[in-house]
Structure 1
Amino acid sequence: MSRRADPCLSPKPRGECPGASCRGRSSHDREETAMHDHRRLGRELGLFDTDPLIGAGLPYWLPDGAAVRHALEEYVRDAERRAGYRHVYSPVLGKRELYELSGHWAHYSEDMFPPMDLGGEQVVLRPSLCPHHALIFRSRPRSHRELPLRMAELGGMYRSELSGVLGGLTRVRAIQLNDAHVFCTLEQVAGEARAALEMIREAYGAMGIVPARYRLSLPGPGGKYVDAPDLWRRSTALLTEALDLAGLPYEAAEGEAAFYGPKIDVQVADGAGRESTLSTVQVDFHQPERFGLRYVGADGARHRPVMVHRSVVGSVERAVAHLVERHGGAFPAWLAPTQLVVLPVSGGELPDADALARRCVALGLRAEVADPERGSLAARIRAARLVPYQLVVGAAEAADGRVSLRLRDGRRIGPLPADEVLARIGALVGARATDLWDAAPKAP
């Protein structure tokens, strides 16, 4: 994960500093920002928590947080599958020699956990998935007909972050990364990078978030970068071409590249204007060379592929942290921990409410019943204010199979046949729509 840039010192994206909110903010604005701090709100909503016996930077996910995380992971896997990616699993451990070969040990070891002695060998918790994917590529002969070969994994990796920079979900030591590597010819690189940027754009639309800016991250002074000027020039030119093809404004930033190559960082900002990197696209000539990757071209000769690294939502932890702060817990319906709550007006409608909730679950919706014993109808409606859909079942509705629907944004629909309402909600959630009803029919 890239370190956070100071947004107030960053060049202005699209004529506006992403950290403008850092200056001249009212006390009300500061209170709003504090209210939406994911570290506080995430715990209040029962999404995640920590324990000193587990350790700093190692949060655990509670059921509601796990539901959000699962929905996000399923979205990414589905988007990757439709884009032609094949999914793999690889171990979270590797021999020290693996990371010496990849270059991580020479350029990144201070951010890795110490090696563990195991049967006369040293194994390391991986700081990145790319070395494993390079080994998978070279595990068998490859032909140009297979390229571009798109390999994806939602996998764990580990960073030895200092305790002073750890915070909530944004900076952790155990990371679940949405990672992928495209092995392709030189002529395919710009198109693959542009396609990755389009996947990122679509994902941000579904999640209801907006990039603060696109950053072309370049090497800076010092010895932490691979010394291969020609490869850096070629990689930078290809990423610039991809950004231009996508029609995206961007800013160059020295000192933010990966040790092996430049990258496009998609920056997001929290309510205080603080920036962090969420998604990345990288071009890598270094690791294909280090691992001796080859494919047989149309000419029958052996050629070296280029490796495009790409992450649509970055780490699941940081993505959820940003979603909490962006939406204040009122997630898009497809991401909401509870998507639908059934509210019987009285105990007499409780059996009908239970049956309706079971139908919702059978349709793949996350639903629950707000029992009348929890309080008055008004109190239960207030308690479910973050739930996208509230189905009210009174005596009249129970008698004729109808429900009155309340939307989280204040709209009221119905009474309508329960089948019609559930079908519409199921379709909207399945399409990962951002509108809760989308041109809903008028109540009769």
Structure 2
Amino acid sequence: MDEVVDEASHEAVHDHRELGRELGLFGSDPLIGAGLPYWLPDGAAVRHALEEYIRGRERAAGYRHVYSPVLGKRELYEVSGHWAHYRDDMFPPMDVGGEQMVLRPSLCPHHALLYRSRSRSYRELPLRMAELGGMFRAELSGVLGGLTRVRAIQLNDAHIFCTPGQVEQEAAAALELIASAYAAMGLRAARYRLSLPGPGGKYAAAPEMWQRATDALVGVLARLGLPYEAERGEAAFYGPKIDVQVADHAGRESTLSTVQVDFHQPERFDLGYVGADGARHRPVMVHRSVVGSVERAVAQLVEVHGGAFPAWLAPLQVAVLPVGPEQAGAAAEFAARCAGLGLRAEVSAPEQGSLGARVRRARLVPYQVVVGAREAAGGLVAPRLRDGRRLDPLPGREFAARVAALVGAYEVRLWDGPGAG
């Protein structure tokens, strides 16, 4: 597999906390609380586009989507092992009707219960279960920051229940899905990390299971020819991980995507399937997240692109600029055509300033479309691309259709016609 790179991306020099607020993507309020950012309309548009992209890619890769509650009984996390090994990072239990309820720190216990909701056969495996779901971490206020460390997390999560012989293939396919997503987002991996257990008691005690899981992940990295660095003390409490590391504007690393092999939770939840021999067997659980948390993914996108997102992610994709009031009707008609094709388009009216001022305000919009008297009379548009290129006037219908096709294909490039690089 090729390394996760994008030749069109540039070195990150932006702090997402400052730029995200400047661009009106997200904010915070002390009445809501630290580590609980809210999303403004433009930020919500980026987030929605990212979520729809990953859902579509997962469906194409054979995943089935589910929903599960963000709460669970304390007993659930005692069974999974989170209560014993992860309690310090969880919010305190809430007493409700004589039961203790907990905001979930992870989606995997719920998915284990969904798997065991009925009997399973080897013919169903691998069973790929995905969810964009909320989870909660009781992070200390001193480590919270922007979108990278928050207390309420929307996670692009999935769990693959498979036979032992399917583990390497499924983990490799997950890494290839991650590479494809990074290319579409214009991101690159700083490095791949094999995260292993360290000293101390925060890990489930099962040496044989740990070795089997580690051997599987090492085999996947070798199979794909990916260089990696092994680090102790970075594993999940239930198993080792391949972490895809990214770097922020200051060179600080964080984990965005991950693939994990877990023999522990299938054992704890007594998961099983009927094999070809008619006997009951234990499945393996492969955890994987393609874009990680939506919050951290958007933070990384802001820092890498400085607000000039790939067109499919841009809050506003087409800015329509009538030269004068006489072209307002034609501009509105073209914007409506774009919207009908699923594009996010708005008219920047002459009342909002000179044409030059409106073009400058739209500098981060991938496509700026000028509509003058000649264009309005002939059903044409005069497009300007965000990278500074100007295209010859062409029919509005043709331009909108070609932009919609590029956006629908999740292309990083802005144009595929004359002058395209």
1:114 partnered with 2:73: no
Q: Which runs of 5 or more structure 2 residues have no equivalent in the other structure?
A: 4-10
1:332 alignment partner, one of 303, 310, 325? 310
2:50 corresponding residue in structure 1: 72
Rounded to whole Å, the distance in 1 between the matches of 2:250 and 2:141 is 22
Rounded to whole Å, the distance in 2 between the matches of 1:341 and 1:414 is 17
1:238 partnered with 2:234: no
What does the per-residue CA deviation read over 1:178-215, in whole Å, with 9 as the maximum and x for residues that have no partner? 00000000000000000000000000000000000000
1:10 corresponding residue in structure 2: none
1:146 partnered with 2:139: no
Aligned residues with identical type, % of pairs? 76
Aligned ranges 1:5-84 → 2 under 5 Å: 33=13, 36-84=14-62
1:282 corresponding residue in structure 2: 260
What does the per-residue CA deviation read over 1:411-435, in whole Å, with 9 as the maximum and x for residues that have no partner? 1112111111011101000001010
Rounded to whole Å, the distance in 1 between the matches of 2:419 and 2:72 is 57
Specify the code of the residue in structure 1 equivalent to 2:243. Answer: D
Specify the code of the residue in structure 2 equivalent to 1:352. Answer: A
Specify the code of the residue in structure 1 equivalent to 2:374. Answer: A
Rounded to whole Å, the distance in 1 between the matches of 2:217 and 2:48 is 31
TM-score by length of structure 2 reads 0.96
2:185 corresponding residue in structure 1: 207
1:169 partnered with 2:150: no
Q: Which runs of 5 or more structure 1 residues have no equivalent in the other structure?
A: 1-13, 15-28
- Higher mean C-alpha deviation, range 62-71 or range 352-361: 352-361
1:96 corresponding residue in structure 2: 74
1:409 partnered with 2:387: yes
1:371 partnered with 2:345: no
Specify the code of the residue in structure 2 equivalent to 1:286. Answer: H
What does the per-residue CA deviation read over 1:16-64, in whole Å, with 9 as the maximum and x for residues that have no partner? xxxxxxxxxxxxx9xx83xx10000000100000000000000000000
- Cα drift, residue 440 of structure 1: 3.4
- Cα drift, residue 374 of structure 1: 1.0
TM-score by length of structure 1 reads 0.91
Aligned ranges 1:329-368 → 2 under 5 Å: 329-368=307-346
Specify the code of the residue in structure 2 equivalent to 1:341. Answer: A
1:184 partnered with 2:162: yes
- Cα drift, residue 243 of structure 1: 1.0
2:8 corresponding residue in structure 1: none
SS of the equivalent of 2:393 reads: strand
2:412 corresponding residue in structure 1: 434
- Cα drift, residue 438 of structure 1: 2.0
Rounded to whole Å, the distance in 1 between the matches of 2:289 and 2:374 is 51
2:400 corresponding residue in structure 1: 422
1:137 corresponding residue in structure 2: 115
Superposed structure 1 runs of 4+ greater than 3 Å apart = 439-442
RMSD over aligned CA atoms reads 1.1
SS of the equivalent of 2:32 reads: coil
Rounded to whole Å, the distance in 1 between the matches of 2:65 and 2:248 is 32
1:389 corresponding residue in structure 2: 367
2:197 corresponding residue in structure 1: 219
SS of the equivalent of 1:244 reads: helix
- Cα drift, residue 439 of structure 1: 3.6
- Cα drift, residue 218 of structure 1: 0.2
Aligned ranges 1:288-303 → 2 under 5 Å: 288-303=266-281
Specify the code of the residue in structure 2 equivalent to 1:276. Answer: S
